[in-house]
Structure 1
Amino acid sequence: MLTPMTQLDEFNHILDTQNIRMVYQPIVSLFDGSLFGYEALTRGPDNSTFHSPSVLFEFAEKNGYLYELEKLAREKAIQNSILQHKQQMLFINISSPVIFDPKFKAGQTLEVLQQRGLSPSNVVFEITERISIEDFTLAKKVLEHYRNQGYKIAIDDAGAGYSSLQAIAELQPDYIKVDRSLVQNIHKFKIKEYIMETFVTFAQKMNIHLIAEGIENEEEMMKLSRMGVHYVQGFLLGRPEPHAAVISERLTTMITQQKADYSPAGMTWTIGDIKAPIQTFELSTKISHVADYFTLNEVASGVVITSANKPIGLVMRERLFQQLAGQYGFSLFWKRSIESAMDPEPLVVDEFLQVEQVSQMAMSRLHNKLYDYVIITSNGFMSGVSSVQSILACITNVRLESARVASPLTGLPGNIQIHRELQKRASSNQKFSVIYADLDYFKWYNDLYGFQKGDQLLQFTADIIQQSVMAFAHSQDFVGHIGGDDYIILSHNDKPELLCEEIIRRFEQGVHLFYEGTTTRGVKDRQGNAVNSDGVTISLALVICDCKYQPITLEQISEAAAQLKKQAKSQKGSVYCSCDLLNGQADYRPVTEIKEVNSAH
Structure 2
Amino acid sequence: MLSNRWKTITAELDFAFQPIVHIQSGEIFAVEALLRNVDKAGGFHSIFALFDEAFHDGILYQLDIELRLKAFEKFSNIDIKNLKIFYNLDNRILYMPDFKLGNTEKILQKYKLDKECACFELSERGTLSDPSSVTNLVRRYKQSGFAIAIDDFGTGIAGFQMLYYAEADFIKIDRFFIENIQNDNKKRLFCQHIINIAHTMGITVIAEGVETKEEYYICKEIGANLLQGYFVQKPTLDIANIQKNYLNIKKIYEDDSRTHTANSIDSKQITYMVPLFIEDLNFKKIFQYFKQNKELHFIPVIDKHSIVKGIICENEIRDLSYSQYGMSLVQNDDNGKKLSKYIKDKNIVRVEISWSVDKILEVYHNAKGDLQGLFVTNNGKYLGFINSNNLLSISYKRNVALATQKNPLTKLPGNDSIKKFIKESFHTDKSSFHTFVYFDFNDFKPFNDSYGFRTGDRVILLFSEILKKEFSSKSFIAHIGGDDFFVGFKNIDYPTVYRSVGSIQKKFKEEVSSIYSRDDRQRGYISTQDRFGIQRNFNLLSVSAAILEIQAQSLLENFDVIMGEIKKESKKHQTPIGCSILKE
Per the normalisation by structure 1, the TM-score is: 0.58
User: 1: CA distance between counterparts of 2:244 and 2:292?
Assistant: 51
* Aligned counterparts, 1:518-533, within 5 A: 524=502, 527-528=505-506
- 1:84 aligns with one of 80, 95, 101: 80
User: 1: CA distance between counterparts of 2:300 and 2:504?
Assistant: 66
User: 1: CA distance between counterparts of 2:248 and 2:131?
Assistant: 43
Whether 2:211 is the aligned partner of 1:216: answer yes
- 1:148 aligns with one of 143, 149, 161: 143
Contact kept, 8 Å, 1:287 with 1:337, in 2: the verdict is: no
Q: Secondary structure at the match of 2:474?
A: helix
User: 2: CA distance between counterparts of 1:277 and 1:340?
Assistant: 24
* Aligned counterparts, 1:33-44, within 5 A: 33-44=26-37
- 2:193 aligns with one of 187, 190, 198: 198
Instruction: Give the Å deviation of 1:235.
Output: 0.8
Whether 2:140 is the aligned partner of 1:122: answer no
Q: 1:226 to 1:12 in 2, by over 3 A?
A: same
Any unmatched runs of 5+ in structure 1? 1-7, 281-285, 306-313, 344-352, 364-369, 378-383, 422-436, 463-479, 488-506, 545-556, 576-595
Q: Secondary structure at the match of 1:24?
A: strand
- 2:22 aligns with one of 22, 29, 39: 29
User: 2: CA distance between counterparts of 1:394 and 1:188?
Assistant: 37
Instruction: Give the Å deviation of 1:110.
Output: 1.6
- 2:247 aligns with one of 228, 237, 249: 249
Whether 2:353 is the aligned partner of 1:354: answer yes
Q: Secondary structure at the match of 2:110?
A: helix
Paired residue type of 1:524: G
User: 1: CA distance between counterparts of 2:336 and 2:202?
Assistant: 32
Instruction: Give the Å deviation of 1:198.
Output: 2.5
- The aligned counterpart of 1:225 is 220
User: 1: CA distance between counterparts of 2:218 and 2:474?
Assistant: 15
Percent identical among aligned pairs is 21
Contact kept, 8 Å, 1:96 with 1:129, in 2: the verdict is: no
* Aligned counterparts, 1:449-528, within 5 A: 454-458=472-476, 486=486, 513-515=491-493, 524=502, 527-528=505-506
Contact kept, 8 Å, 1:158 with 1:179, in 2: the verdict is: yes
Q: Secondary structure at the match of 2:233?
A: coil
Q: 1:52 to 1:404 in 2, by over 3 A?
A: farther
Whether 2:59 is the aligned partner of 1:68: answer no
Encode CA deviations 1:479-527: one digit per residue, 9 max, x unaligned.
x99999649xxxxxxxxxxxxxxxxxxx9xx95x324996955852853
Q: 1:261 to 1:569 in 2, by over 3 A?
A: same
* Aligned counterparts, 1:273-284, within 5 A: 274-276=270-272
- The aligned counterpart of 1:537 is 548
Paired residue type of 2:401: V
Instruction: Give the Å deviation of 1:232.
Output: 2.1
Q: 1:152 to 1:139 in 2, by over 3 A?
A: same
Whether 2:557 is the aligned partner of 1:597: answer no
User: 2: CA distance between counterparts of 1:375 and 1:117?
Assistant: 32
Q: Secondary structure at the match of 2:29?
A: strand
Encode CA deviations 1:229-265: one digit per residue, 9 max, x unaligned.
222211111111131236542322222454x734641
Contact kept, 8 Å, 1:439 with 1:536, in 2: the verdict is: yes
User: 2: CA distance between counterparts of 1:174 and 1:274?
Assistant: 24
Q: 1:39 to 1:400 in 2, by over 3 A?
A: farther
Encode CA deviations 1:373-398: one digit per residue, 9 max, x unaligned.
98999xxxxxx9844x53x7656754
Q: 1:486 to 1:231 in 2, by over 3 A?
A: farther
User: 1: CA distance between counterparts of 2:55 and 2:244?
Assistant: 35
Encode CA deviations 1:129-174: one digit per residue, 9 max, x unaligned.
5642644556544432321332222222122243445444443433
Q: Secondary structure at the match of 1:253?
A: helix
Instruction: Give the Å deviation of 1:74.
Output: 2.3
- 1:97 aligns with one of 84, 92, 102: 92
Paired residue type of 1:211: I
User: 2: CA distance between counterparts of 1:321 and 1:522?
Assistant: 70
- The aligned counterpart of 1:567 is 568
Q: State the structure with more CA Rg.
A: 2
Contact kept, 8 Å, 2:298 with 2:311, in 1: the verdict is: yes
Q: 1:519 to 1:45 in 2, by over 3 A?
A: closer
Paired residue type of 1:182: F
Q: 1:24 to 1:275 in 2, by over 3 A?
A: same
Contact kept, 8 Å, 1:176 with 1:211, in 2: the verdict is: yes
Contact kept, 8 Å, 1:36 with 1:89, in 2: the verdict is: yes
Contact kept, 8 Å, 2:253 with 2:259, in 1: the verdict is: no
User: 1: CA distance between counterparts of 2:48 and 2:97?
Assistant: 24
Q: 1:185 to 1:442 in 2, by over 3 A?
A: farther
Instruction: Give the Å deviation of 1:216.
Output: 1.1
Contact kept, 8 Å, 2:125 with 2:152, in 1: the verdict is: no
Whether 2:101 is the aligned partner of 1:106: answer yes
Q: 1:266 to 1:58 in 2, by over 3 A?
A: closer
Count the aligned residue pairs: 457
Contact kept, 8 Å, 2:149 with 2:172, in 1: the verdict is: yes
User: 2: CA distance between counterparts of 1:63 and 1:542?
Assistant: 61
Q: 1:51 to 1:538 in 2, by over 3 A?
A: closer
User: 1: CA distance between counterparts of 2:327 and 2:264?
Assistant: 48
Q: Secondary structure at the match of 2:183?
A: coil
* Aligned counterparts, 1:41-60, within 5 A: 41-44=34-37, 47-48=40-41, 49-50=43-44, 53-60=47-54
User: 2: CA distance between counterparts of 1:39 and 1:481?
Assistant: 49
User: 1: CA distance between counterparts of 2:578 and 2:155?
Assistant: 40
